[in-house]
Each structure stands twice: as C-alpha cells, then as structure tokens.
Structure 1
C-alpha cells in the first residue's frame, strides 16, 4: 500500500500549554481515518499543521512527493467581492492553476502555449470543472452562483468551501467538521459521495453515524497520547472501553502493590538502602503509576430539575411566514409533561424560527403560545453566549449559580459540575480567552444547565462539541427530569435523546413522527419506495392508455400523408448533420487558432444551429406520433 503521509514524534505547545507530544501515525492510499479528541486537545491544530497552516515544536511531517492535498477548514474565509462561482476557482491546486494558465495564454494570443495546455486540459478534464462545481454547489443547496461571497451566512460559506475542496478531487482530503451547517439530506448525500470516491480521508467530525459509515480507522488523542484503532466508530467504542478497563486494572494493581512495597521500604535499615537500589527505583515507578487517575468510562449525573406542572405550553392556530416562505399555518399542538421532542428538517424550513417563537424572540403573524406558570426555560442557541474573555471559567458559571441540586438534599458545586463536563480543576481557573472554540461552546452549555431549568430548548447543541462531551450531554439528557426540545442534524444524538420527531417538511407542512431518527428514516425510505413504485405504475398505465388511444385514433383517421413522410425522412437526415456541424464548430472554437471576429461569428452560428436542432427535433417528435 502506497504511503501518503508519515507523522513521527510530533510535539506542539502554546506557551505552557502542551497539546500533544511524541505522536506518530501514517496515512496510506485508501485509508479513511476519523480523528477523535476532547475539545482543547489540539484536533484543529493538528489538521492545520498537516495542511501547512501552522508550525510545530519538534518531530516530522512527510508527504509523498506530488501528493494532491485538499483541506476544509472549520471556519473558511474568502476575499470579499468575488462571487460564489469565483470562490470555487479560488484555491491553489493544479486544476485551477491550469485553467488560469489557459485563460492567460488565450488573452495574450499565445497559441503555441495554448496547444500544450489544451492537452493537459483534456487529460485533467478541466473543461468540465465549472459544470462540476455547479452540480456540487446545487447538491449543497447553493443555487445563486453570482451571489457575492460577503452576503453568505457562515453556514453557506462552509458549504461553498466544501464544494471547493470536493471538486478538485485530491489524493488526500483533510476535513474539519464537514457536516457542520449541513442539513440531514445534505449530510447523507456527502456520506454517499465520500463512500463512492477513492479519496483517502482524515477528518474531524462529531457526527458518529458519519464516522461509522465512512471511516475504517479511528485515531484518538487522549491525555496527549495517540491511540489507533483499525475499524469504524462502533469498533473503536468497544476497544476503547477495553483500554480503559485495562488501564484502570493496572492502576488498581499498582496501588495494591504500592502498599506492600511501602511497608518494605519503611522496614529497610538506612545502611542497606544502596544494596536494594533497583527495588527502590521500581518503588518510585510504581508510586508514579499508582498516582495516575482512573480513566472515566460511562458517568451518570442525575440532577433534580425544578418542579414542572402539568401545563407546559400550547400552540393555538399559530401562523408565521416571511414573504412567500411559509413556516407555520394554523399550527396547533399541546406539549406534554416530560416530553422529549426532536425537530428535524432541511435548512430554511423554519426550525430555529419555531424555537425563537416559543422563547418569545420572534412574534407570530397570527395565533398564540400559552406557556405554563411553572416552566423555567434553559435556552441553548446557535448564536451562543458572549463571554467576558478576561473572566475565569469558574467565575462564568458561578455568576449564574454556585451549586446545582441533585435531590435528597445532595448538591454539586459549580466546580464539581464543570468537572463532570470535562473541565479539569486547572482549566477552570484559566481565562476564557485561552479556551478553544469547542471549549467555549461547552462552557456555554454548562451556564445553561446549571441554572436548573425544567424545560431545555437546545438549538443545534452538537455543533463544535466533541464526541466525549456529546456522550456526557446525552447521558445528562437521558436522566433529565424535565421537558426537552432539540433541533439537531446529528442523527446519532437524536436517536439517543428524543422520544418523537416533529419533521418540518417545508411550506408550513409538519409531521409528528412517533419514534427516533433511525425509525423515521426507515419509514421515509419505505414511503419513498412505495411512491416511486406507484408513480412508475401510474406512468405505465398512462402510456398504455395513450398507446391504446393512438391505435384507436389510427383506425379512425388517415395515416401519415406522403408529404409528411417525406418531411419525416428529411428531418432524420438533417438533424444528425446539424449535430455534426455543431460539434465541428465547438472543436474549432476550443482550438485556440481563431481570431476574435471568427470566434464571434462561429458562436452566433452555433446559437442558430442549436435553435434549429430544437425546432426540427420537436417537429420530428410530432410526426413520429403519426407512425
């Protein structure tokens, strides 16, 4: 197997913060690797190092010579003023550089240079580059190719950057959270696209179904060390737990041995200490091992939420639209006590708008929402909380609550609660500006949960959270004694947390589905297949009726006249000739040998030929009905 990349003994730190050291791994042709680590462990930093965007302290990063590498950043940026389509040509890769060279040579009239470039353009199929870019942008719901890049949302920018990196078809594709800002339909399309290609992959994603179905290897950075697992996400979970159990057993064994050794050390006369130096050294190593912290497996945190009455909220004849875009139309719903609802649907169908209406941020055009008196909302929004960057992590949480009730008189301090959500005591006293983007999102989540709400409203909580944090959050929500509404594109998360789905299908059509996301996809797949089968059967019947009608009409009316038959035969001879002429003109125009006047003249002729072909083809179809 051909080696694409080899990383050896890599070390990276920022001041006194050591992210990782002595990590080594390789990527070979055909490898599809998922990178997993807690937020703040250096996932994005590692990808930036591999992409050449950032330096490292020591070690080596060696790529195969002439390897084409594509990199999707977590927060891509483009220069202002360019269009969406221009952005797809804004990258430093062989294909784009080749097209640029050809256009420059064409503008200079350098025909000898153009001749050699045409061969390369043919070899790399560069003529189809723009069409391919438009196809992928369309699949990612970006249809206005002339829109200025500065007018796009952050999610749209990410999708343009994803299209940009996919169309270049690199040998090695490095992706940082590729499913962020993709709806479920787009995520499933990308999943299938990557499974079909032969690209080698290294990616960071919190989408565990995506990891499970696309990747065949998982590498994990844990406590600054790297662990590799040859298998998908399900295999990784199994083997990681085995590693945790084995490590904890070693620590427990070391602690038991330490007690025995400690007694031996204390009994030794001072004069005989040098004769047993090897045993004293072994004692110190054992002491170090015993002092290691036990690794955490599954953790449970049962928090007593504030009392919630039987009336939660009721939507009465709720309607909302933005111009021609309908979000809700006379929507009625009574939310039940302890209900856990997942909201799914394509981007732009109104999921976040519905949440904002419930929270009183958006007003309905018509209708009302009645909220129970005992309801205390905890709202986690996509926009997030704006922190004072000079504040310490622990203070940001203590400003909201010093402790959280576990019930039965038991309480958890703000510091203990932060530890549950993976903030170590050391990190708690860091300033917020030192946190990574994912750590800030995790801190924001803690500020929402520690306020002790009884109704959690979570709008895209999984974006920018690492998989370890998601596991903790899922466990928290499963034990949460209150109501939950979750808007998320994370299929795995929805499967573990919600009781039923509210599916926003667009144009104010909502479907309440009794089950999780996997249940819904299975049902929808069966529905789609049934609709296709019914549609095919209907088409078959319509064709049969038309054929029968033509036969009946044929019996009643005269067949094709002699004149029409002659016209039909002429059309069959003329249309292929026009197609040949069109092909010849296209070849001449792409040869680079024509002057500007000749190009204009031939482009006009091609336009006329296309129009003529369309008219003659339509007439041929009309006459063929008379056969």
Structure 2
C-alpha cells in the first residue's frame, strides 16, 4: 500500500532550480536512502514533504491518517521545555498520557495519579512506556529535568530522535540521523530501524548505515531523480553503469555535433530551405554534448610540506574535569606518516584530547612535545567562522593567490575551487547562500590549500556529501604526511586509518592495531566471553530457576505498581554493576595498584558480585510476571 506519492514536484530559488518535475512514491515497509551532492536540495525536499517548505508545482499526497515522524537536521524545541517534555512533545494521545504520568510521578502532588493509572491501563500504555524508556536509555537520555536551553547540539539531536521514535510512526523521515551520535548509539539505531516494520526516507552520509538499513536508493542528479532497487552497494554498481552509458551517449553526441556544425556552416545564410527539424536537432545535440561526463570530481592532489622524523610525543599527560577523567599519565610517540583514528562514546574526551594536542586546552600535568617541522591543518567541529557577507572566492584569496602543487606547479584559486565543485557562478556567490555541506567543503578547501603535513580532522564527515567523502578518503590514503581523525563514520575510518585510539571513558584508552571493523570484531569476541562467564555464574541460581519452572503453569498475575517500578530499576542497576565489575577487574589486572589499593578493590569486587547475584535473583522472580 502506498503511503506517500510525490508527483511532478519542482522547486527553485530564483534562477537556481534544485529539482524539476520529479515523481516517486513510498510504499509500506519501504526504506529509501536519498543521495545527492551538497546544494542539490536533499534537505529542501525533506522539508517540503514534511510541510515545512513550499514548492513551485506538483503535489505531495499522504495516505489518510498516516503517522509521520520527521527528524530535522537542526531540530529546535521551545527553550523552556525540560528534556522529558521535549521527548514527549507530540500530538500522539498515548505519548501525551505517558508524559502526564511521568510528570505526576516527578511531582509531590499525586492526587490525580489514580485516574492517570486507570487511563494508562485502558489505553494499554504500559508497553508503550516501556518501549519509550528503552529508546531513551539507548540514546543515553537520563536527566529528564534538564532544560532544552542547556543542551549541546549532540544532546539536542538525541532528544529529537527519541521524540520521533517514541511516537511510533508508520513513516519516518530522517535528515542526517547519525550526526552527533556516538558509534554505540549509531549501531543501536541501525539495528532498530533495520528490524522495525516502518517506512523510511532518509538522508545520511553514513554508508554502512545506508547499506544495512535501506533497500532502495534515490539519487538527485542534474535536477532529476534516479531510482535504484537495492542497497548502497547495489547503487554504486548501477550508478557506475549509468555514468558509463551517459559518457558514451555524450561522446556520440559530440561526434554528431561536429558533423552538424560543419553542415550548418556550409549553408548559405540567406537560404530558406534549411530543414527546421535539423536545426532543432542541432541545438539539442549541442545541449547534450555540453553535459558533464561525471557529477563532478574533487581533486585534492595538493603537495604536503616536508615533515621530519619527530612528530609529537605525549609525556605523562593527565586531564580531568572534576570527577570526569579524560587522560591519566598518558604516554604516546606518534610515528612519521602515521594515520590514526580516535573513536569512543560521546563524553569520553576525544575532542578534548585533540584540543590539548593543538594547544587550545592545557593538560593538568604532562605535555605534548611537537616536532619543529610539523605544520598542522586543523579541521574542528566549530571551525565554520566565515564572514557570511564575503564571496566564496574572496574567502580563499584571503589565504593565498595560488595553491602549490609541488614540482614548481601552481594552481590559481578559481581553478582550485572548481575542483571542490564550486562552479564559477558559485565562487562569486556570497557565503550565506551556501548550504551547510557546501560551507564544510569550503572550510576543508581553506585547510588543505595551506599545504599542511599533519592533518587533524575532528568529525570531518558531518554534513559532507558522499561524493566529497569518497575523494577525501582517497586523498587521505595517499597523503604524504600524518593524519589524526576523530569520527563516528565507520566506513570513513575503515578506509583511512591504520590503527585506533579507543576512548572507553574514565581515562581508559586502548591502542588498537587495526581499523574500526577489526576492532568491532575483536570487541564482540571479548563481549561473548564475558556473556559466557555471566551465564556460568547465573547457572548457580538453579533454585530460583526451579521455582520459576514450577510456577510456569500457574495463572500469571500482573506486577503491582511498586513491583513494576522495582523491576525497571533492576534493569538499570544490574548492567551498572556489571560495568563496575569489569572496571574493577581491569584495574586489578593493570599491575599499577599498590597493595592497599589492590585489597580495597578486591573487597569491593566481592560485594559487587554478591549484589549482582542478589539483584539478578530478584529480577528473575519479577520477570516471571512482567
């Protein structure tokens, strides 16, 4: 059954036509990825479908009573709302009832709680609430009372994502859903959307995410759309075939055009017998022959300046913010031509580490000793600080009049911008007219044209289109210098880096010799070992299990309100204790503890194991009726 039909849609801004007379539909259960160069109208199309932007002509038709969720690229909520209120900021009746229940529980006034509980039972909202809390927990949303105005951009994106998923939509529209999500949350969302029986239309630069979630790709190219009935890998294969066919067609048109041009020139100017159809065909051929053979290539063949053998050494670097430890007595010698990736969950200190290296943040103790020949090119998350009233070409000319390509070769600024997909008319446009991705591309251009020999890239993939990412990856792979990349883009990391620093929180940093996929395989093997050990411990709980088996045939009773709250609390407490146990085991095996510290941790781990066993037994009892 069709849930959405787009018919003959056209959108332009003045003389700039984004797309023209495009038509497609979304059926129930269909999961579509939308791909295009930055500035081609991806976000505009999503805004039009969501009813947030007008269009020139055509129609957007939804199925009656369709539940639609929309995650915007830059979500916004009233600043006075709390996190909980924003999460349940919806017209969905069940969601609003759950929000009412949560507010009643958080307040001292429980006078209307009985009425709310009755309505919750009648609307079967308990399962809904459990699902909502699972989503909030997976997205690391715990401080429900924090004001929206106090959130970072990443926290706000997670709240907005929770708001969309909680409403249980039948069609979900996602604009860069993985931006600002750490790897753990990205992989959870990937699995959630893959399993969910919902329709999806999304824009994302995360190619693993596209490949594993989407079953169809729609590409906007030259104001038209092209549909590919398969995932991202299938799209790459079929798009290459399309481009090769287009190139052959353009070559044929060029050859015919030369013949037609010769014919046109040989005709007497005053002669009126020239066939009109042939004249019209000439102009059509001319138009076709002028088509680009490709969607455009970013040429990043820029010479890196000489770099010596000494790059940098981290010597006993420690940094913390209150109780939050970023590094503790950290030591590292960075090698020449090394390409390192830095990964980890949000809040573990990845960007702080980079800022210490760049001298923007001082360590509490220790230092970074940087080689004399090192010339940093630093791409930061908050580096987009252009004068919006400047023209694109002026931004670049303020840095240099030409770009040094090495071997005495130089390139003019305008030609350099052309390689970055800035056509001449775009070069003389003002910065404020650029899309978010185009500004990122311009920012990258200003960094690379300075000929750095050590690139430090903090989340470079956010807002860049896939075409730019492909060539940036190739450039970094061939870059004759050093690279450090902080990124949540798994595909990007796999193609670029040779090993990882994994920030696991509380100054626990693992140096892993491999790319991200290899690290995940290693980590999954370790996690499996831990699960098997936990299962072996749980086998000791046979009396509880026997009691569970004996009562399996008895009529099931419902948990009381108090028992349900206890059950939910245990589901949070047990994983937290397992995490503490793993941290204690790691510390005890480090060899760096004194005898007193070792005895203290041994006492604590014994208590933690007892708590885990006790709480697990209680959880098993309650789970029988949950």
Instruction: Find the counterpart in structure 1 of residue 451 from structure 2.
Output: 452
Instruction: Find the counterpart in structure 2 of residue 597 from structure 1.
Output: none
CA contact (8 A) 2:297 2:421 kept: no
CA distance 1:45–1:296, change in 2 (3 Å): closer
**Equivalent pairs, count:** 556
CA contact (8 A) 1:133 1:164 kept: no
Structure number, greater radius of gyration: 1
- CA deviations 1:99-133 (Å, max 9, x no partner) are 689999xx9x99xxx99x978x6675334444433
Shift, 1:271, TM fit: 6.5
Shift, 1:385, TM fit: 2.6
Rounded Cα–Cα distance in structure 1 between residues aligned with 2:461 and 2:258 = 45
Instruction: Find the counterpart in structure 2 of residue 266 from structure 1.
Output: 265
CA contact (8 A) 2:500 2:515 kept: yes
Shift, 1:360, TM fit: 0.4
CA distance 1:364–1:230, change in 2 (3 Å): same
- CA deviations 1:460-519 (Å, max 9, x no partner) are 111111112211211221221111000000000101111111111112111111111111
Rounded Cα–Cα distance in structure 2 between residues aligned with 1:581 and 1:409 = 79
Shift, 1:532, TM fit: 2.2
Instruction: Find the counterpart in structure 1 of residue 315 from structure 2.
Output: 316
- TM-score, normalization: structure 2? 0.83
- CA deviations 1:212-239 (Å, max 9, x no partner) are 0000001111121111111100111111
Instruction: Find the counterpart in structure 2 of residue 192 from structure 1.
Output: 191
Instruction: Find the counterpart in structure 2 of residue 380 from structure 1.
Output: 379
CA contact (8 A) 2:18 2:40 kept: yes
CA distance 1:306–1:126, change in 2 (3 Å): same
Rounded Cα–Cα distance in structure 2 between residues aligned with 1:495 and 1:301 = 20
CA contact (8 A) 2:34 2:219 kept: yes
- CA deviations 1:53-98 (Å, max 9, x no partner) are 1111111101111111000111111112222111122123343456
Shift, 1:327, TM fit: 1.1
- CA deviations 1:313-360 (Å, max 9, x no partner) are 001111111111111111111101111100001111111110000000
Q: Point out where structure 2 has 5 or more consecutive residues left out of the alignment.
A: 104-108, 565-613, 622-626
Q: More displaced, 74-83 or 305-314?
A: 74-83
- TM-score, normalization: structure 1? 0.82
- CA deviations 1:141-195 (Å, max 9, x no partner) are 1111122221111110110110011011111000111101110000000001111
- CA deviations 1:428-460 (Å, max 9, x no partner) are 110011111221121111111111111010001
CA contact (8 A) 2:98 2:129 kept: no
CA contact (8 A) 1:85 1:133 kept: no
Partner SS for 1:423 = coil
CA contact (8 A) 2:39 2:435 kept: yes
Rounded Cα–Cα distance in structure 1 between residues aligned with 2:64 and 2:224 = 28
- CA deviations 1:524-576 (Å, max 9, x no partner) are 11222123224434555x669x99xxxxxxxxxxxxxxxxxxxx9xxx99xx9
CA distance 1:530–1:57, change in 2 (3 Å): same
Please say if 1:407 is aligned against 2:406.
yes
Partner SS for 2:292 = coil
Instruction: Find the counterpart in structure 2 of residue 427 from structure 1.
Output: 426
CA distance 1:314–1:5, change in 2 (3 Å): same
CA contact (8 A) 1:303 1:479 kept: no
Rounded Cα–Cα distance in structure 2 between residues aligned with 1:45 and 1:583 = 47
Matches for 1:228-627 after TM superposition, within 5 Å: 228-270=227-269, 273-274=272-273, 276-296=275-295, 301-537=300-536, 540=539, 582=560
Q: More displaced, 290-299 or 405-414?
A: 290-299
Partner SS for 2:451 = coil
Instruction: Find the counterpart in structure 2 of residue 83 from structure 1.
Output: 82
CA distance 1:171–1:454, change in 2 (3 Å): same
Rounded Cα–Cα distance in structure 2 between residues aligned with 1:77 and 1:356 = 28
Shift, 1:427, TM fit: 0.7
CA contact (8 A) 2:317 2:367 kept: yes
Rounded Cα–Cα distance in structure 1 between residues aligned with 2:365 and 2:200 = 49
CA contact (8 A) 1:22 1:225 kept: yes
Instruction: Find the counterpart in structure 2 of residue 155 from structure 1.
Output: 154
CA contact (8 A) 2:297 2:420 kept: no
Please say if 1:9 is aligned against 2:8.
yes
Superposition RMSD in Å: 3.3
CA distance 1:280–1:511, change in 2 (3 Å): same
CA distance 1:250–1:508, change in 2 (3 Å): same
